[in-house]
Amino acid sequence: MVSPVAILYNEGLKEYDFGPGHPFRGTRYHLFHQFLQERVNGENYQIIGAEPAGDEDLRLICTREYIEFTREYYRAAHLGLEYDGRFYQFHSVDNRPLGRPGKLEEAARLIIGQAKKAVELVEQGKFRKAVSLGGGLHHAKPSFGEGFCLYNDVAFTSIYLLERSNVKRILILDTDAHAGNGTAEYFYRDPRVLFIDLHQDPRTLYPGTGFTYQIGEEEGRGYTVNVPLPIDAGYESYKLVFEEIVQPLAQEFKPEIIVRNGGSDPHFNDQLTQLGLPIKGFRMIGEKVRALAELCQGKEIDLIASGYNERILPYAWLALIAGLAGIEVPVEEPEPIPERYMKDWAVHATEKVVREVKAELKEYWSCFR
């Protein structure tokens, strides 16, 4: 029997909602929770709640001024009130709510609280794998929020591990379609964290960072690995990147734990991106991460939130979790695959990207020489 995976979830996640008309709505969480319960035997997972993070937790990753502004601004926005006009000092336009948002900042604290709980569950040996629904807010920075992200739980998970446990080497694997620019900034000079980021070519998608030549600085040089995938990159492209880049690097780095983030937005029918991954590709990612985790006694924390087609989202999220946890459950493609995605036509362009990544990093990693 498969060891149960811990799934961090709370009804309060529905408040992570930027308002009517915004692409990021809080309905995704209840939608997936219901889908999970309908599809998967409860013996395969355990739903666990967590307390919201306090200011002391947030100060691990954010400045005090940013925390105070963010709390007061979003509290006022939820009540339909105007608040101080310094918004663009602390947040980008995509974090501006439309209409009446949910209790965004409170839900963001809950997501950090779930990350903290996930670390404790895995480090105490209660679970080998923990999944935080709502996590993966990888664009947020210490004093600036953007990309629908208020507090960066990917950074929090890793910093909390480094400061509050005996972990010395962490592999962060970001498979969100957008580059994790916030996470990259936190660890750009830190050799304790190997950050591997698979994302759509930044010349074609927000946030416009994540080029192969962005490899870290100072002691962290060589520990940031960007894999900018061509438009329409699908199953074969992702398989190639895992086999040629992710697996060799992980084997050489020897992480003590893996932190992965990313949801359904690499799917070919996502509404904001232009990649080509089918549902079976998400299961493959989960399976590859499960195999990588054998390098560190199976210890892995998964953070899942993204995706901008709610018809696709629950299938992709479930496929990721099923692959990660070894849950034998069929996860079908929810709609017909268009002819152009029946084959991964982008794989030759992906091969070129792989060669570029290896050329940038061969000085730092013997597996690429």
Catalytic residue IDs: 139
Whole-angstrom Cα distance, residue 324 to residue 333?
Answer: 18
Cα–Cα dist 360/341, whole Å: 30
The answer to whether the beta carbons of residues 13 and 103 sit under 8 Å apart is no
Task: Give the separation between CA 262 and CA 20, rounded to whole angstroms.
Answer: 23
Distance, in Å, from the CA atom of 78 to the CA atom of 101, rounded to the nearest integer, reads 5
Q: Taking a C-beta distance cutoff of 8 angstroms, is the pair 309, 264 a contact? A: yes
Secondary structure of 164-229 as H, E, C letters: HCCCCCEEEEECCCCCCHHHHHHHCCCCCEEEEEEEECCCCCCCCCCCCCCCCCHHHCCCEEEEEE
- Smallest CA-to-CA distance from 116 within 186, 179, 69, 163 is with 163
* Distance separating the N- and C-terminal Cα atoms of the chain: 41
Half-sphere exposure of 144 (CA within 13 A, CB side): 13
Distance of CA 110 to the CA centre of its chain: 16
